[in-house]
Structure 1
Amino acid sequence: MVPEDVKARLAPAWIAARAFVIRRRLLFGVGLGALLALVAPLVWLGSSLPISRALEPLPSRAIILLDNRGQPFARRGAYKEPPVVITALPKHVPAAFLAIEDRRFYHHLGIDLVGVTRAFVVNAKAHRTVQGGSTITQQLAKNAFLAPERSLRRKGQEAMIALWLELRLSKDEILSRYLSSIYFGDGVYGLGAAARHYFGKPPEQLTIGEAAILAGIVKAPVDLDPVDHPEAARRRARLVLDAMVETKAITPEQGREAGQVKVPVARAALPVGGYFADWISPQVKSAFDGAAYGEVKVPTTLDSRLQRLAERAVARGMASSGPGRLGARAGQVALVAMRPDGQVVAMVGGRNYRQSPFNRAVQAKRQPGSAFKLFVYLAALRDGAGPDSLVVGAPVTIGGWTPSNYEGGGGRDLTLRDAFAQSNNVIAARVYQTAGGPAVVKAARDLGITSPLREDDATLALGTAETSLLELTAAYTAVASGKTPVEPYGRPRVAAPTTVALDPGQRAALLDMLGAVVQEGTGRAARLSQRAYGKTGTTQDYRDAVFVGFTGDLVVGVWVGNDDHSPMSRVVGGDIPARIWRDVMTSGLKAGLIARDSPPVPRVSRGEAGGDEAAVEAEPRPHRVPKWLRRIFGL
């Protein structure tokens, strides 16, 4: 037993010891909780870091598209050169980027607390974001390894990757990776590519002023593009030079002298873009195989001379109609030009590629209107008719549908040639009814039309089925070449595809009627100094206007309309499209880019056009009523 007086003396000590133990446990718990609170987020962030590829190269290739004379006309894909070597660059080149982006680069461990604090104070005073606190290491981590999202999680990952990079790489290696991967606008990545793109030289030859311009672009590659925005680029370069003077990278005299550098007025490399380039690019993806950097040159069928003529013709045709007739009522245009074998030599997909890269020559599906009658009349020729066959022009009703002629005219009996030339809708409907929907669809398929067509829809006779301009132009090319199908292509072929020759008599009859359209019909605005063939097309309420035709060794299709399918101001296929077509052909003939007159095709005599060469002989043939006509008149 412990005496009471001893207990009394020991009580304070026991209480104190007990309190000490409790305090230790509390401190341990708080410390453990704080440690977990610190470590848990780091573990969570670290578990999702993409550091497995942090030291991999960042390869990229670009393709240079060459025209049919081997001259480059467009670049597609990201353009990048091999990584730069910091020690091989003049000192003022990396100094320009360090001065404006990260002055303390060689003095921090990936995260610059001094810079972050400075940026916070400046931004707080300005009540807006004026400065950023990210280091070059953080920018490399963000651009190379993280998605472009704004969140605390991503900022934490950025900081962790920056620290990891600082532990794995030297400062020069980090700077090299940064300079070799940052975006300089216009599809250009890395200092090596940017130096060649804007100044036509390797980065080792950049002057102080040129380095300042490139360092200035990084902040806003689009808005500070020295070609498109020279004044903004010059002002930004001046800030870079002032920063280089402040960091003593250059002297004030060097800064003043470098400030006189001229911003590039043109790019040494080729601009990205162009409707033809967009169309052909998916077909040349195989060109990316092989080395990781540089450019691949890919030959194409584009004729840059014809392309320029086509673009000028489109600009003139769309501008010369006057605001009262055109203006916003006919907002867009498309053009395709190809040789008889299908090689596409020019393409215009809209009025302005920069404003709208949507390719209306390839991607848009529009009604061809009367240009579709080519297939209707081919079906009639196959059924025994000829260009001089007479057809009743009285009104006709098919399945509750009664077609009418343009502006209500017509009613006369006409030959197939005259009806085709005048684009008579009533007679086209009669021809469709007699030949039959399946025969018309087959004729279209045989000439290469692949778009959906309904055999039971009589309005097909007037071109209500939608096709692309490229597809329609290729179908007319089959008539020009006498072989079908014609497959449009933009890269030189190794071997020609299998084709079938058109019936000579039927082709001669089609040429006869197509020639009549230009000489005496709705396509008179397309007349040339040599034989020309074509067909106009206008859809309901003037929503689409088309002209497709050929002369010499060139076939051209032109479409005019509005993207929202709104009506135009009485624009027809024989108007703006035919005039644009004639402008292209006239300019091409004058420049020697289109073959001169080929031997004329004899006019097809009355009677059947199919069967054999005798169908196109010039001698008179005994009169006989073709089975096609007998069916119409019930004979």
Structure 2
Amino acid sequence: MSSNNNTRETRMSRNADRQSGPQKPHHGWRTFRRILYVIVAVIVLGILAGAGLFFYYAQSAPKVTQSALSSDASTRVYDANGKVISRLGAQNRTYVKSDQIPALLKKAVVSTEDRRFYKNSGIDPVRIIGAAFSNISGSSLGMQGGSTLTQQLVKLSVFSTAASDRTLKRKAQEAWLALKVDHDYSKDQILEYYINKVYMGNGVYGMQTAAQYYYGKKLSQLNLSQLAQLAGMPQSPTNYDPIHYPKYATQRRNLVLQAMAKNNVITSAQAQEAEAVNVQTGLVKDHTTSTQISAKTSKVVDAYLKQVYAELKTKGYNTTSGGLKVYTNLDMGAQKKLYDIVNGSTYISFPSDKFQVGSTIVNPNNGKVVAMIGGRKTGNVTFGLNRAVQTDRSSASTAKPLMDYGPAIQYLYYPTYEPVKDTEFTYPGTTKKLYDWDRKYQGTITMRKALYESRNIPAVRTLQNVGISKATTFLKGLGMTFDKTLTLQNGIGLYISSEQEAAAYAAFANGGTYYKPYLVSKVVTQDGKAHNYLSTGKRAMSSATAFMLTDMMKDVMTNENGSGRSAAISGLYQAGKTGTDSYPDDYADKVPDGATMDSWFTGYTKNYSVSVWTGYDKQFQTGHYVSETQTTIAQEIYKYEMSYLASKSTNSDWTKPDTVTETRQNGKTEYYVTGHPGTVSDTTATSQYGSTNTTSSSAYSSNGQVTTNSSSRNTTSTTTESSTSKESSSTEQKPTGGTGDDDTTTSSSTTTSSSTSTTTGGTTDAGDNNHTNANDDTNN
């Protein structure tokens, strides 16, 4: 028994010793250790990979030069010959050297933008980590950011500020260049470059220029409150503008003062004293700077520049701090000529300084907008109303080739001699009649005659045959889209701009290809990258349609009864169309007979397409009408400008394409789409005021070929030919709503015959912007 007990005790003792001795590692601990090793390895590899990627990106970083660091970040705009025409309005920087910059301003900038500026080496890991923590916790007073002041300088000097360029590659290059700049330049130099470069709102760059612009003083003459204000503005120059947003400007200035006090560069008492000052104290009323682009040049290119900046904005560029070089299609000679024509007294006698003009010139072969005028006698304005691109005035009869006759040739194969009826017409579903200016009907006439004499009824009947759907498709091919369904009334008036119309007529000029109009040809960003722009042409119509329309529109200026005789230029191959709008019924008795609200002329050669609108901004004010004799002013502007343009380009006629066949009709050369000769019909005028008798042996044979024999015409009519040289104009009302792109509203009109005035009611839909009248009666 005792032996067994001893044996059991001995075994228990051994087990106890075994349990109390060193233990083998537990399986869980081994797993954790392995995971830790993997994490460390991943971190190390990540650091190495990041470093490798950093240096890889750094190798392709652009060069940063002293010139780039010290230059301003303005957006320069060049004309087609590479000459600077603008530096973004008041973009005139006065450079200030370091020893002339107040010490308080330097301390304010450092306290605001980079408290560790004098300690870091261009980048600041501590700052990056601190910025992340402070911004999350909300303890940074809105002052803390991840980029050092040196990095901000590099960004302003070398890189694009577009949001799309905020990439890992760009940030790596920015950090690398900040290290180089910190190594190559002293802290005082870096601060000097920064203070002179930052954008300060209102087209002003640099704090010295800002001091002059906002306070009319030099930096050395500003007090603590004003210096703190300037130091805080670069973060958001527009929002912290003390002129327009004093509330936000005050908040920002006070944050700067608090940061200065926190950094012990001023006392709390000094900060509180400066905070008590009204932020608008000391602001001057006359905000001017020096070394501007000449006022004359600014006036000449104002409308063009406004459209350039609008185009840049749609492309995503920041024109206020992007440091861009913008190359445009501007022909400065053509621009100056157009400006002189509409603003001087040498060429045209304008009725008053309030009489306005909007005009656009397009190169038909590529869509380049070479000149643009947005108004006349506008005074000293920067980016005033650009009437060249406004869409709230009816284009009147200049719409006829676009919506009526163009689609008729394109889809229905109308020949130029297509018989069209100028007979009594009532809009379907209504009791409203359509008239021309003379309230007469010419019976059956040719499409050519209807176009060059600008008769309304044949145009609307043609549109009726084409159909709104096909006409809308044709317009879309010419870059025109509308929010609402078009109507028959739009066939004698579309709400489009001179830019849209010049580009559309350009397609007639080049044989049927539409180019979207554009002003900017190239943009070079601060990093040296060039972005080129052009317009890709799209076939909008057949070459046959373009040629036949052009041939008919030649007669607008050359035929003795053409509506655009005042635009004729001897010896020049050109084509075009007139357009005028009469007043609605409820206003017609307030203006003389024949007075209109708008007068247009759009014409072209093979080299240029020019569209001109004339009228008054407030056409319903007393005396703000275009008299019957003044309706030719648009034609005269076109004539003088096109004469200049023609003098610097070749003068060549259009060549008939193989798809068009020439024929003789009634002793005149006419054309039809090959294989579609149409129907020969008696198109001698038959008016309700007279009679016409015609005998003609012209007829088509059974195989569709034209056979022409001698014909005799005996015509008796009381309708005088001279009367038809006066264009018919559509009556419209001032739009009361919409976006300027809608084209379906009808309005009332007044029609006058002899001494009797007949008024017929129309309808106006305030929700639309096309108010071409259902009783349109003077649509030239």
How far has the Cα of 1:450 moved from its partner? Answer: 2.0
Residue 584 of structure 1 pairs with residue 641 of structure 2: yes
Residue 511 of structure 1 pairs with residue 538 of structure 2: no
Residue 383 of structure 1 pairs with residue 407 of structure 2: no
Task: For residue 325 of structure 2, give the secondary structure of its aligned residue in structure 1.
Answer: strand
Q: How do 1:295-444 and structure 2 match up within 5 A?
A: 295-316=323-344, 320-322=348-350, 326-327=351-352, 331-340=355-364, 341-353=366-378, 354-355=380-381, 357-374=384-401, 375-381=403-409, 382-399=411-428, 400=430, 401-444=432-475
CA distance in 1: counterparts of 2:407 and 2:297, whole angstroms: 51
Is this contact kept in 2: 1:344–1:489, CA < 8 A? yes
Residue 459 of structure 1 pairs with residue 486 of structure 2: no
How far has the Cα of 1:319 moved from its partner? Answer: 7.9
CA distance in 2: counterparts of 1:623 and 1:562, whole angstroms: 51
Change (3 A) 1:309 1:384: same
CA distance in 1: counterparts of 2:473 and 2:248, whole angstroms: 61
How far has the Cα of 1:219 moved from its partner? Answer: 5.7
CA distance in 1: counterparts of 2:445 and 2:368, whole angstroms: 37
301-310 vs 270-279, which deviates more? 270-279
Partner of 1:569: 626
Residue 537 of structure 1 pairs with residue 602 of structure 2: no
Residue 136 of structure 1 pairs with residue 223 of structure 2: yes
How far has the Cα of 1:293 moved from its partner? Answer: 7.2
Change (3 A) 1:452 1:544: farther
The RMSD of aligned alpha carbons is 4.5
Q: How do 1:471-550 and structure 2 match up within 5 A?
A: 471-492=500-521, 494=533, 496-500=535-539, 502-520=541-559, 521-528=562-569, 529-541=571-583, 542-550=596-604
Change (3 A) 1:595 1:317: farther
Code of the aligned partner of 2:544: G
Matching residue within 260, 266, 272 for 1:165: 260
Change (3 A) 1:498 1:226: closer
CA distance in 1: counterparts of 2:568 and 2:449, whole angstroms: 17
Residue 70 of structure 1 pairs with residue 134 of structure 2: no
Is this contact kept in 2: 1:67–1:299, CA < 8 A? yes
Code of the aligned partner of 2:513: T
Change (3 A) 1:622 1:152: closer
CA distance in 1: counterparts of 2:296 and 2:451, whole angstroms: 52
CA distance in 2: counterparts of 1:289 and 1:153, whole angstroms: 22
Partner of 1:177: none
Is this contact kept in 2: 1:76–1:272, CA < 8 A? no
Code of the aligned partner of 2:352: G
CA distance in 1: counterparts of 2:453 and 2:643, whole angstroms: 24
Is this contact kept in 2: 1:82–1:294, CA < 8 A? no
How far has the Cα of 1:444 moved from its partner? Answer: 1.9
How far has the Cα of 1:445 moved from its partner? Answer: 2.1
Percent of counterpart pairs with the same letter? 22
- The unaligned stretches of length 5 or more in structure 2 are 1-68, 106-216, 233-239, 267-281, 522-531, 584-595, 679-696, 705-780
Change (3 A) 1:294 1:147: closer
Is this contact kept in 2: 1:535–1:548, CA < 8 A? yes
Task: For residue 308 of structure 1, give the secondary structure of its aligned residue in structure 2.
Answer: helix
**Higher relative helix content:** 1
387-396 vs 135-144, which deviates more? 135-144
Is this contact kept in 1: 2:412–2:466, CA < 8 A? yes
Is this contact kept in 2: 1:396–1:403, CA < 8 A? yes
How far has the Cα of 1:65 moved from its partner? Answer: 1.0
Is this contact kept in 2: 1:376–1:440, CA < 8 A? yes
Pairs aligned (count): 440
Is this contact kept in 2: 1:535–1:547, CA < 8 A? yes
TM-score (norm 2): 0.49
How far has the Cα of 1:64 moved from its partner? Answer: 1.1
CA distance in 2: counterparts of 1:448 and 1:156, whole angstroms: 48
How far has the Cα of 1:159 moved from its partner? Answer: 5.9
Residue 445 of structure 1 pairs with residue 513 of structure 2: no
CA distance in 2: counterparts of 1:426 and 1:538, whole angstroms: 15
Partner of 1:220: 284
1:214-261 superposed Cα distances (whole Å, 9 cap, x missing partner): xxxx9637366568xxxxxxxxxxxxxxxxxxxxxxxxxxxxxxxxxx
Is this contact kept in 1: 2:358–2:614, CA < 8 A? yes
Is this contact kept in 2: 1:81–1:294, CA < 8 A? no
How far has the Cα of 1:388 moved from its partner? Answer: 1.3
CA distance in 1: counterparts of 2:454 and 2:307, whole angstroms: 33
How far has the Cα of 1:62 moved from its partner? Answer: 2.0
CA distance in 1: counterparts of 2:662 and 2:616, whole angstroms: 39
Matching residue within 596, 607, 614 for 1:553: 607
Change (3 A) 1:351 1:597: same
CA distance in 2: counterparts of 1:268 and 1:170, whole angstroms: 47
Code of the aligned partner of 2:225: Q
CA distance in 2: counterparts of 1:452 and 1:411, whole angstroms: 36
CA distance in 2: counterparts of 1:447 and 1:137, whole angstroms: 60
Code of the aligned partner of 1:589: A
1:34-77 superposed Cα distances (whole Å, 9 cap, x missing partner): xxxxxxxxxxxxxxxxxxxxxxx999832111111111112226
Task: For residue 413 of structure 1, give the secondary structure of its aligned residue in structure 2.
Answer: strand
CA distance in 1: counterparts of 2:550 and 2:296, whole angstroms: 47
Code of the aligned partner of 2:490: L
78-87 vs 354-363, which deviates more? 78-87
- The unaligned stretches of length 5 or more in structure 1 are 1-56, 98-130, 172-217, 228-263, 628-635
Is this contact kept in 1: 2:363–2:607, CA < 8 A? yes
Task: For residue 406 of structure 1, give the secondary structure of its aligned residue in structure 2.
Answer: coil
Is this contact kept in 2: 1:275–1:357, CA < 8 A? yes
How far has the Cα of 1:488 moved from its partner? Answer: 0.2
Partner of 2:672: 609
1:116-163 superposed Cα distances (whole Å, 9 cap, x missing partner): xxxxxxxxxxxxxxx9xx953211222443563798997697467336
Code of the aligned partner of 1:526: A
Task: For residue 417 of structure 2, give the secondary structure of its aligned residue in structure 1.
Answer: coil
Partner of 1:29: none
Code of the aligned partner of 2:553: L
Is this contact kept in 2: 1:347–1:361, CA < 8 A? yes
**Higher relative strand content:** 2
CA distance in 1: counterparts of 2:423 and 2:347, whole angstroms: 40
Task: For residue 422 of structure 2, give the secondary structure of its aligned residue in structure 1.
Answer: coil
CA distance in 1: counterparts of 2:305 and 2:246, whole angstroms: 37
Task: For residue 320 of structure 1, give the secondary structure of its aligned residue in structure 2.
Answer: coil
Q: How do 1:176-215 and structure 2 match up within 5 A?
A: none
How far has the Cα of 1:621 moved from its partner? Answer: 10
Code of the aligned partner of 1:609: Y
1:187-211 superposed Cα distances (whole Å, 9 cap, x missing partner): xxxxxxxxxxxxxxxxxxxxxxxxx
How far has the Cα of 1:517 moved from its partner? Answer: 0.7
Change (3 A) 1:527 1:270: closer
How far has the Cα of 1:582 moved from its partner? Answer: 0.3
How far has the Cα of 1:397 moved from its partner? Answer: 1.3
1:255-309 superposed Cα distances (whole Å, 9 cap, x missing partner): xxxxxxxxx995899789611111111333579679x979432111111011111
Partner of 1:278: 306
Code of the aligned partner of 2:433: T
